[in-house]
C-alpha cells in the first residue's frame, strides 16, 4: 500500500467518524435552561428520554461532576463495574469491613445515581443490617444515621421521585423510634446538633422542635410532608407519580405525631396542656387523612371518613327503589342471603346484623353490618336488578338508575371498609380521640410515675411529712400509681369501648404483668380482687387462651372453649364477651 | 486486620518442622518438572522440523550451547541492552500516559474520597496503591509485550543478533530495562501518593467556644445527651466541624497516687491539685473519631486550649502475634476441629490437633467465638518469643485487641460485653516447675475497633505449684516471672453469661514498637515493584514466541490468575453447584438454576468429563502463575501495620525465582526462534 492510499483511507475514516458524530450530537444534545431555571431548549431525543424517565442530569446545570466522571471513566463497562461493586459491598458486609463497604457504596451510587432501588436497598443495609452488627448502641446510632445521610445524597439525582423522602421518613421515624434501643436512639438524636444541621438543608427543623427537644417522629413527619408535597404539587411544574396506593401513601404523615406522643409519654411526665394540644393536632391530621378523596380500582371516589356514603344512604336508595317496585325485596333478598350463607360468604351473626334496623346498631355493629353488606355485593347486584325489572315500564328507567346507584354505593362502602380495615383507620381515630382526653393524659402520667417509682424501687406507699404544709401525708408507691392508672383507664374504656381490643390493650397487659411482678416483690398477692381492668384482662385472656390473672369463670370458659375448639376445628376469632355481666 | 499466614521467611522456605511443605522443595520439583516437559515439547517441535534422529542432535546442541551461554553472560552487555530498552520504553510514551493518568486521578481523587467516614486513611491508601498498581502493571505489560515481537517483525532484531550478544542477555537486558523504567515511575508515584495521603488526611480543628478555656466546658450529662463519656470525664465541649466530622473534647479528672508518675502528656493538663494522698490532674482529651484524634495543649498562662493536626491515621504498628491459638469449651476441654464428613479430628502441618471457636452462624468463619460466663471456655494465645528487648521502656506494654461480639439475648443495651484477660507462664517442664498466673483483667469490649490495653510490667497474681496449690500471691513481673523462658500464655474469656466474644489469631497481639509510616508506605510500594518485575519477566518471556496481542492477552490472564488464584481455586472444587465451565454455559442458556441436577445422558456425562479436565487444568494454572496476593502488601499499609522483613523476603524470593525460571524458559524459546529464522 503506497502513501497516497493510506492517506485516502485515513481521510475516509475521519469523514465517517465526523458523519457519525453529527447525528450523535443532535440526539444527545442536553437541554438548557435560562437564569430562571426555565427550559429554553428541550435538547435531543436522548436528552428528552432521559428527562422523561427522570434521569435528571439531562440539564447541564444539574450534572454531578463526580458521578459523570466515574461513568465516563468506566469506559462503557459501567454494568461490569456496578456488578463488581455490588459483590464488593456484599463481601465487605460478610467480612464486616465497614469502611470498605462505605467506600464501595459511595462509588456504586455515583455509577447508578438514578436507580432508586440501589439507594433504598443500600441505605436499609446501613441503617438496619450494619447498625445491628455493633454491640455499642452509640455506634448503632451512627450507622442508622449513616444510612439516612446516604439516602439524602440520592435526593438530588431523583428529584421527581418521592420514594427517597418516604424512606427517609420511615428510617427517621421507625428506626429511631421503635428499635429495641429507641430510648437511647431518641436521646442521642435530641442532642445531635450536627445531624439536625444536615437535615435542616432539606426540611424546616423548627417544625421538629418540642419542649422536650427535637423529635425524630416529627422529623419523619417533615419527610412525609415533603413526599406529599411532591405528589400533590409536582416538582418544577411537572407531575410526580405516586408509587404507592393513596390510602397507604397519605397515612404515614399523620401517624408520626401520634407516634411521637406515644414515645414521649413513656419517656417523660408529659404535661396536660402540651399533651392535649399534640393529641388534638394528631387527631385533626388523622381526620384530614380520612377526608382525603381516594379513588377505587373502579374509579369511584370515596374517603375513609365515609362522608355521605354509609349504609344509611343504601337504605334510603333501597326505599326509593322499593316504592317503584314494591313487595319483591323480602323474597329476593332472603334468597340471596340464604345463598350467601350456604356458600359460607356470610355467617349467621352477620346475617342477623343485616336484618336489624340501622338505628338499633351501635357504631361498631354498623361497621360490621357495612362489611357484611359489602361481602353480599355479588348477590346484591342480581337482587337489585331483579327488583328494578319488576317496576312499571314508565318507572323502569328510574328504577334501573336507582339499582345501579345502590350497587355503586355498596362498592364505595366496600372500598372504604377495606382501606379502613387495612390502615386501622377507625381504631386510630378512636384511640387518638381517647388519648387526647384529660383522663387518658392523667392515666399516662400515672403510668410514668409508676415506672419511675419502680425504677427507684419504691413499690409501696409510705408516710412522710410534707415540707410545705408540715402535715403528715401518704406518698404513693409504684403499686398505687399503677392502680391509679388502671382506674383511669377503666373510665376511659367506658367512654371508648372500641378500644378494649388492640395495641393499647397489649400495652396495658404488659403493665399489668409488671404491676403483678412488683406486687410479688413487695410481698403481696400478685393480683387484687376487683381489679379495675379485670374485664379487659379476662377478655384478653379469653382471646389469647392465656391463663393470666383471670377469674375462675374465665378459666371455666377457656376450658369449655378448648373443648368446643376440639369439636369444631377452625372457628373464627372468638367474639368479645363482657365478663362483668356473666355470673 | 485479617492475617492468615504467620510463617517466617525461614519457615516458608524450609517448611519448618515439616520440610515437605518448604518453598525450596516446591521450587526444585517445579523446575525439574518444567525442565522435563520443556525437553519433551522441544524434542517434539524438533521432530516436526527435522525428523526424529536429527531432532535428538538439535536438542542436544541447544542444551549444550546453553551452558556456555549462561556462563558467558556479560553484565556489561545486559546493561547496554537494558539502556536501549529503557530508551525504547520512554520513546513509546506509555510511561508518560500512565503518569498523567495517575496525576489526574490524584488531582480529582478528593472528589470521591472524604475524611468523614470510619478510617478514611484506609480508603486513601487503597485508592493510591490500587491506582499505582494497575497503571504500573499495565504500562509494563504494554512496553514489554510490544518490544521483542516488533523487533522481530521489523527485523531490527538482527542488528543486535548479529552482534556478539547472547539470547539470555537480550532477555535479561529487556527485563532489566523495562523494570528500571517502571521503578522510576513507581518511585515518583510513591512520593506523590504519600504527599496526597498526608495532605488529604491531615486537618485541624479548634474548640468550638468563644473562649476555648475550661470555663466554656459544660458538665458531662449522659442522661441528657445519651453519649457515653470516657472514664474520668467530668466536662465536655465540641471542636469545630471540619473534614466531615467534629470531636468531643473532654476534661478528665485523673486521680493518681502522689508517688505515681504524672500523665505522659503534661501539655494537656489544665491544672492539678492535691487531694488527700493523691494528686488530681485535670487534663484535656480529644475523643477519637474515624480512627484519629488530635492532641490538646494548654497555654499555662492563658489556659487556652489548642489542638494539633490529625493523629492516628499514619501508623505502622509492629505486632508480636501469638504462635498458637486454641479454643476451649465450657467444660475446659479443647474444642477440636472435626471433619464433618469423615468425623476425624483435623491436624495442622506439625500433626497437632486443630481447635476452633464456636460458630454463631456467620458466613465468614474467620473468627471463632467463646462462650460467656465461664472461665473454662476461653481462647488461649501462646506466645513463644516475649522478650523485654522487643519492647521499649514504657511503663505499660500495649496489648491490642480487635474483638467481635455476638449477643444471644439483648441484655443491658447500655453496657458492652465484658472481656477478661489473664496471663500465665508456660514452664518448660510443667511437672516440676510452678506456674505464675495473673488475676483477671476485666474490661468492656469495643467491637470493630483496635482496643489498646496497657499491661503493667508488674501484674498481681499467684504462684501455683505443679499440684495446683497456691504457693504465694503478690506482684509478678511480666518478663522476669511470667515469660522468663520467653513463653507466655494469654487467656481471653467472655464474662457475660449467654453472650459470645469472637476472636482470631491476628486479633490479639502485643505492640512491640511503632515503625516509621513513610518507610512502611514505601515497603508497600515495594510489593507493587515486585509484581511489576514479575510481569516484565513474564511478558518478555511470552513475547519470545508469541506476537504482541497474544502476549498481552496471556499476560493479562496470568495477572488475573495471579490476583484471584484463591477464588479461582474455589471454583475448581469437585461437585460444586453449577458444575464446570461448559455446564455453567448450558445452564445459563437453558436458564436452569445451579442446584437442579441435569438429567443423566451420554451428552451430560461427556460434558461432565470435559468439565472435570478443564477444572483440573484451571487449578494447575493457579499454581504455575505467581501468587500475587503474597506480593501485595497494601493491606498492611491500609490498616497501619508494619510490613515485616519476612514478608518482604518471601515476596522477593518468589519474584526472583519466577524471573529466573521464565528467563531460562525464554532463552530456549528465543534460541529455537533464531534457529527457525
pLDDT per position as a tens digit, B10-40? 888 887 766 667 888 888 888 888 888 888 8
Distance CA A185, CA B131 (A): 40
CA atoms within 13 A on the CB side of A327: 2
Distance CA A156, CA A113 (A): 9
pLDDT at B403 over 90: yes
Instruction: Quote the pLDDT of residue A197.
Output: 92
For testing the chain A interface, which of B3, B105, B106, B118 should be mutated: the one with the most A CBs within 10 Å?
B118
Interval A175-194 mean pLDDT: 93
Min Cα separation B293/chain A (Å): 17
Task: Establish if A132 touches chain B: CB-CB under 8 angstroms.
Answer: no
pLDDT at A363 over 80: no
User: How confident is residue A546, by pLDDT bands cut at 50, 70 and 90?
Assistant: confident
Instruction: Quote the pLDDT of residue A542.
Output: 79
Percent of chain A, pLDDT > 90?
43
CB atoms within 10 A of CB B481: 18
Between chains, do A135 and B447 touch, taking CB under 8 Å as contact?
Answer: yes
Residue numbers of A between 318 and 377 with CB closer than 8 Å to B: none
Q: Which helix (H) or strand (E) holds B669?
A: helix B645-676
pLDDT at A35 over 70: no
Residues of B in contact with A89 (CB under 8 A): none
- Summarize pLDDT for A140-169 with one digit per residue, the tens: 999 999 999 999 999 988 888 999 999 999
Which segments within A447-504 are labelled E, that is strand?
A: 462-465, 472-475
Instruction: Quote the pLDDT of residue A190.
Output: 93
Instruction: Quote the pLDDT of residue B377.
Output: 94
- Summarize pLDDT for B436-461 with one digit per residue, the tens: 999 999 999 998 889 999 999 999 99
Between chains, do B226 and A184 touch, taking CB under 8 Å as contact?
Answer: yes
Between chains, do B364 and A96 touch, taking CB under 8 Å as contact?
Answer: yes
When mean pLDDT is compared across A377-386, B366-375, B616-625, the lowest value belongs to B616-625
Strands B488-494 and B418-425: antiparallel
When mean pLDDT is compared across A62-76, A92-106, B602-616, the lowest value belongs to A62-76
Range A219-223, long-range pairs (CB < 8 A, 24+ positions): A219/A172, A219/A173, A220/A168, A220/A169, A220/A170, A220/A172, A220/A173, A220/A174, A220/A177, A220/A252, A220/A256, A220/A259, A221/A169, A221/A173, A221/A253, A221/A256, A221/A257, A221/A260, A223/A165, A223/A166, A223/A168, A223/A169, A223/A172
pLDDT at A83 over 70: yes
Residues of B in contact with A98 (CB under 8 A): 118, 448
Q: Of A436-440, B168-172, B584-588, B656-660, which has the strongest mean pLDDT?
A: A436-440
Distance CA A114, CA A32 (A): 20
Instruction: Quote the pLDDT of residue B248.
Output: 92
- pTM for the whole thing? 0.83
DSSP A130: I
- Looking at every residue in chain B, the average pLDDT score rounds to 88
> CA torsion, points B178, B179, B183, B184, in degrees to nearest 10?
-30
User: How confident is residue A511, by pLDDT bands cut at 50, 70 and 90?
Assistant: very high
- Summarize pLDDT for A258-296 with one digit per residue, the tens: 999 999 999 999 999 999 999 999 999 999 999 999 988
Task: Establish if B21 touches chain A: CB-CB under 8 angstroms.
Answer: no
pLDDT at B93 over 90: no
Q: Of A175-179, A354-358, A540-544, B199-203, which has the strongest mean pLDDT?
A: A175-179
Cell of B18: 515439616
Residue A205 and residue A151 in contact, taking contact as beta carbons nearer than 8 Å: no
Interval A196-225 mean pLDDT: 95
> Pick from A66, A70, A99: which is nearest to B117 by CB?
A99
Distance CA A478, CA A457 (A): 8
Nearest chain A residue to B418, by CA = A135
pLDDT at B310 over 50: yes
CB atoms within 10 A of CB A499: 22
Min Cα separation A497/chain B (Å): 36
- Summarize pLDDT for B360-391 with one digit per residue, the tens: 999 888 999 999 998 899 999 999 999 998 88
Instruction: Quote the pLDDT of residue A551.
Output: 62
Min Cα separation B659/chain A (Å): 32
User: How confident is residue B582, by pLDDT bands cut at 50, 70 and 90?
Assistant: very high
pLDDT at A560 over 70: no
pLDDT at A8 over 70: yes
Interval B202-218 mean pLDDT: 89
Instruction: Quote the pLDDT of residue A569.
Output: 41
> CA torsion, points B333, B334, B340, B343, in degrees to nearest 10?
-70
DSSP B629: G
Instruction: Quote the pLDDT of residue A572.
Output: 42
Instruction: Quote the pLDDT of residue B344.
Output: 87
User: How confident is residue B414, by pLDDT bands cut at 50, 70 and 90?
Assistant: confident
Between chains, do A135 and B417 touch, taking CB under 8 Å as contact?
Answer: yes
pLDDT at B402 over 80: yes
User: How confident is residue A37, by pLDDT bands cut at 50, 70 and 90?
Assistant: low
- Summarize pLDDT for B165-192 with one digit per residue, the tens: 788 888 899 999 999 999 999 999 999 9
Radius of gyration of chain B (CA): 31
pLDDT at A524 over 80: yes
> Pick from A133, A134, A138: which is nearest to B228 by CB?
A138
When mean pLDDT is compared across A35-44, A120-129, A508-517, the lowest value belongs to A35-44
Question: Which comes out higher in pLDDT, residue A446 or B94?
Answer: A446
Interval A344-353 mean pLDDT: 89
Instruction: Quote the pLDDT of residue B674.
Output: 52
Task: Establish if B123 touches chain A: CB-CB under 8 angstroms.
Answer: yes
Interval A489-514 mean pLDDT: 89
* Alpha helices for A325-437 (secondary structure H): 329-342, 348-355, 363-375, 377-389, 396-422, 425-435
pLDDT at A539 over 70: yes
pLDDT at B127 over 90: no
> Pick from B118, B362, B447: which is nearest to A99 by CB?
B118
Instruction: Quote the pLDDT of residue A545.
Output: 75
Whole-number Cα distances in Å, B17 to B21, B320, B427, B485, B523: 9, 21, 22, 21, 30
pLDDT at A1 over 80: no
> Pick from A95, A99, A141: which is nearest to B122 by CB?
A99
pLDDT at B218 over 70: yes
Amino acid at each position: 500500500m503506497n502513501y497516497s492510499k493510506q492517506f485516502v483511507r485515513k481521510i475516509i475514516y475521519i469523514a465517517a467518524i465526523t458523519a457519525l458524530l453529527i447525528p450523535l450530537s443532535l440526539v444527545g444534545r442536553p437541554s438548557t435552561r435560562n437564569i430562571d431555571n426555565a427550559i429554553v431548549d428541550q435538547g435531543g431525543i436522548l436528552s428528552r428520554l432521559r428527562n422523561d424517565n427522570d434521569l435528571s442530569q439531562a440539564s447541564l446545570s444539574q450534572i454531578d461532576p463526580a458521578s459523570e466522571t466515574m461513568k465516563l471513566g468506566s469506559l462503557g463497562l459501567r454494568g461490569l463495574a456496578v456488578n463488581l461493586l455490588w459483590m464488593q459491598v456484599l463481601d465487605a458486609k460478610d467480612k464486616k469491613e465497614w469502611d470498605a463497604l462505605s467506600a464501595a457504596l459511595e462509588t456504586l451510587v455515583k455509577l447508578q445515581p438514578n436507580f432508586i432501588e440501589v439507594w433504598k436497598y443500600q441505605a436499609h443495609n446501613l441503617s438496619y443490617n450494619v447498625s445491628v452488627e455493633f454491640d455499642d448502641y452509640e455506634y448503632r446510632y451512627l450507622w442508622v444515621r449513616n444510612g439516612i445521610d446516604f439516602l439524602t445524597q440520592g435526593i438530588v439525582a431523583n428529584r421527581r421521585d418521592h420514594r427517597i423522602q418516604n424512606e427517609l421518613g420511615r428510617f427517621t421515624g421507625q428506626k429511631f423510634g421503635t428499635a429495641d434501643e429507641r430510648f437511647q436512639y431518641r436521646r442521642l438524636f435530641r442532642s445531635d446538633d450536627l445531624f439536625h444541621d444536615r437535615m435542616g438543608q432539606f426540611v424546616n427543623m423548627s417544625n421538629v422542635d418540642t419542649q422536650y427537644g427535637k423529635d425524630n417522629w416529627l422529623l419523619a413527619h417533615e419527610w412525609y410532608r415533603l413526599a406529599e408535597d411532591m405528589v400533590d404539587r409536582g416538582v418544577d411544574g411537572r407531575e410526580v407519580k405516586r408509587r404507592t396506593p393513596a390510602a397507604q401513601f397519605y397515612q404515614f404523615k399523620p401517624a408520626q405525631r401520634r407516634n411521637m406522643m406515644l414515645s414521649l409519654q413513656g419517656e417523660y411526665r408529659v404535661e396536660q396542656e402540651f399533651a392535649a394540644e399534640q393529641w388534638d393536632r394528631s387527631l385533626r391530621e388523622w381526620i384530614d387523612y380520612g377526608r382525603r378523596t381516594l379513588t377505587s380500582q373502579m374509579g369511584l371516589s370515596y374517603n375513609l371518613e365515609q362522608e355521605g356514603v354509609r349504609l344509611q344512604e343504601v337504605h334510603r336508595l333501597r326505599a326509593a327503589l322499593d316504592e317503584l317496585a314494591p313487595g319483591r325485596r323480602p323474597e329476593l333478598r332472603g334468597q340471596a342471603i340464604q345463598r350467601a350463607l350456604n356458600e359460607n360468604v356470610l355467617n349467621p351473626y352477620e346475617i342477623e346484623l343485616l336484618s336489624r334496623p340501622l338505628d338499633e346498631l351501635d357504631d361498631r355493629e354498623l361497621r360490621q353490618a357495612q362489611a357484611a353488606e359489602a361481602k353480599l355485593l355479588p348477590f346484591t347486584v342480581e337482587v337489585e336488578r331483579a327488583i328494578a325489572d319488576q317496576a312499571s315500564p314508565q318507572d323502569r328507567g328510574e328504577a334501573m338508575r336507582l339499582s345501579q346507584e345502590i350497587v355503586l354505593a355498596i362498592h364505595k362502602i366496600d372500598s372504604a371498609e377495606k382501606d379502613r380495615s387495612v390502615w386501622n383507620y377507625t381504631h386510630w381515630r378512636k384511640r387518638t380521640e381517647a388519648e387526647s382526653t384529660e383522663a387518658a393524659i392523667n392515666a399516662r402520667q400515672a403510668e410514668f410515675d409508676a415506672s419511675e417509682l419502680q425504677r427507684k424501687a419504691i413499690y409501696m406507699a409510705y408516710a412522710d411529712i410534707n415540707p410545705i404544709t408540715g402535715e403528715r401525708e401518704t406518698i404513693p408507691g409504684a403499686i398505687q400509681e399503677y392502680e391509679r392508672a388502671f382506674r383511669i383507664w377503666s373510665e376511659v374504656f367506658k367512654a371508648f369501648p372500641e378500644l378494649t381490643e388492640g395495641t393499647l390493650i397489649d400495652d396495658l397487659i404488659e403493665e399489668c404483668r409488671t404491676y403483678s411482678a412488683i406486687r410479688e416483690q413487695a410481698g403481696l398477692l400478685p393480683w387484687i380482687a376487683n381489679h379495675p381492668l379485670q374485664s379487659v384482662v379476662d377478655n384478653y385472656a379469653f382471646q389469647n387462651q392465656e391463663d393470666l390473672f383471670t377469674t375462675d369463670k374465665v378459666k371455666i370458659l377457656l376450658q369449655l372453649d378448648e373443648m368446643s375448639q376440639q369439636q369444631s376445628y377452625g372457628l373464627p376469632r372468638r367474639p368479645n364477651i363482657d365478663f362483668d355481666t356473666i355470673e | 486486620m485479617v492475617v492468615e499466614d504467620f510463617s517466617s521467611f525461614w519457615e516458608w522456605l524450609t517448611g519448618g518442622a515439616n520440610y515437605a511443605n518448604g518453598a525450596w522443595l516446591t521450587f526444585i520439583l517445579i523446575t525439574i518438572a518444567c525442565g522435563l516437559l520443556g525437553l519433551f515439547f522441544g524434542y517434539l517441535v524438533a521432530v516436526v522440523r527435522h525428523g526424529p534422529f536429527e531432532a535428538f542432535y538439535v536438542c542436544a546442541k541447544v542444551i549444550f550451547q546453553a551452558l556456555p551461554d549462561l556462563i558467558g553472560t556479560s553484565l556489561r552487555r545486559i546493561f547496554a541492552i537494558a539502556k536501549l530498552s529503557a530508551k525504547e520504553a520512554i520513546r513509546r510514551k506509555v510511561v508518560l500516559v500512565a503518569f498523567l493518568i495517575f496525576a489526574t486521578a490524584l488531582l480529582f481523587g478528593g472528589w470521591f474520597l472524604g475524611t468523614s467516614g470510619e478510617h478514611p486513611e484506609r480508603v486513601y491508601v487503597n485508592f493510591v496503591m490500587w491506582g499505582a498498581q494497575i497503571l504500573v502493571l499495565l504500562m509494563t505489560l504494554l512496553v514489554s509485550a510490544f518490544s521483542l515481537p516488533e523487533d522481530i517483525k521489523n527485523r531490527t532484531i538482527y542488528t543486535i543478533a548479529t552482534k556478539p550478544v547472547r539470547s539470555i542477555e537480550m532477555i535479561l537486558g529487556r527485563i532489566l530495562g523495562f523494570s528500571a523504567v517502571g521503578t522510576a515511575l513507581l518511585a515518583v508515584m510513591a512520593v506523590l501518593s504519600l504527599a496526597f495521603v498526608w495532605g488529604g488526611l491531615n486537618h485541624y480543628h479548634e474548640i468550638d467556644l468563644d473562649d476555648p478555656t475550661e470555663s466554656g466546658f459544660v458538665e458531662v450529662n449522659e442522661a441528657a445527651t445519651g453519649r457515653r463519656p470516657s472514664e474520668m470525664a467530668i466536662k465536655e465541649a465540641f471542636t469545630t466541624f471540619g473534614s466531615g466530622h467534629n470531636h468531643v473534647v473532654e476534661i478528665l479528672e485523673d486521680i493518681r497516687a502522689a508517688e505515681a508518675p504524672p500523665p505522659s502528656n503534661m501539655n494537656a493538663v489544665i491544672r492539678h491539685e492535691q487531694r488527700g494522698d493523691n494528686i488530681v490532674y485535670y487534663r484535656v482529651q480529644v475523643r477519637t473519631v474515624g480512627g484519629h484524634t488530635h492532641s490538646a495543649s494548654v497555654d499555662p498562662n492563658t489556659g487556652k486550649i489548642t489542638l494539633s493536626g490529625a493523629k492516628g491515621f499514619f501508623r505502622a504498628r509492629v505486632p508480636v502475634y501469638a504462635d498458637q491459638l486454641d479454643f476451649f469449651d465450657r467444660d475446659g476441654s479443647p474444642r477440636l476441629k472435626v471433619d464433618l464428613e469423615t468425623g476425624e479430628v483435623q491436624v495442622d502441618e506439625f500433626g497437632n490437633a486443630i481447635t476452633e471457636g464456636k460458630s454463631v452462624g456467620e458466613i465468614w468463619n474467620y473468627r471463632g467465638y467463646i462462650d460467656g460466663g465461664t472461665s473454662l471456655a476461653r481462647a488461649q494465645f501462646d506466645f513463644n518469643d516475649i522478650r523485654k528487648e522487643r519492647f521499649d521502656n514504657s511503663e505499660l506494654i500495649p496489648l491490642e485487641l480487635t474483638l467481635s461480639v455476638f449477643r444471644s439475648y439483648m441484655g443491658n443495651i447500655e453496657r458492652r460485653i465484658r472481656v477478661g484477660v489473664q496471663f500465665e507462664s508456660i514452664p518448660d517442664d510443667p511437672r516440676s516447675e510452678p506456674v505464675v498466673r495473673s488475676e483477671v483483667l476485666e474490661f468492656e469490649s469495643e467491637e470493630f475497633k483496635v482496643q489498646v490495653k496497657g499491661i503493667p510490667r508488674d501484674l498481681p497474681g499467684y504462684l501455683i505449684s505443679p499440684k495446683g496449690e497456691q504457693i504465694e500471691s503478690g506482684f509478678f513481673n511480666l518478663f522476669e516471672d511470667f515469660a522468663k523462658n520467653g513463653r507466655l500464655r494469654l487467656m481471653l474469656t467472655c464474662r457475660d453469661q449467654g453472650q459470645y466474644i469472637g476472636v482470631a489469631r491476628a486479633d490479639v497481639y502485643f505492640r512491640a514498637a511503632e515503625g516509621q509510616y513513610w518507610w512502611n508506605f514505601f515497603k508497600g510500594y515495594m510489593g507493587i515493584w515486585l509484581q511489576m518485575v514479575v510481569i516484565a519477566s513474564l511478558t518478555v518471556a511470552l513475547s519470545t514466541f508469541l506476537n504482541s496481542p497474544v502476549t498481552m492477552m496471556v499476560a493479562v490472564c496470568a495477572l488475573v490468575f495471579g490476583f484471584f488464584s484463591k477464588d479461582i481455586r474455589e471454583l475448581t472444587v469437585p461437585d460444586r453447584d453449577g458444575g464446570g465451565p461448559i455446564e455453567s454455559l448450558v445452564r445459563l442458556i437453558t436458564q436452569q438454576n445451579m442446584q437442579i441436577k441435569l438429567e443423566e445422558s451420554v451428552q451430560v456425562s461427556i460434558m461432565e468429563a470435559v468439565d472435570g479436565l478443564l477444572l483440573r487444568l484451571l487449578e494447575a494454572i493457579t499454581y504455575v502463575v505467581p501468587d500475587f496476593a503474597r506480593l501485595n502488601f497494601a493491606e498492611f499499609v491500609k490498616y497501619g501495620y508494619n510490613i515485616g522483613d519476612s514478608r518482604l523476603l518471601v515476596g522477593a524470593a518468589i519474584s526472583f525465582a519466577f524471573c529466573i525460571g521464565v528467563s531460562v524458559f525464554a532463552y530456549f524459546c528465543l534460541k529455537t526462534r533464531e534457529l527457525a529464522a
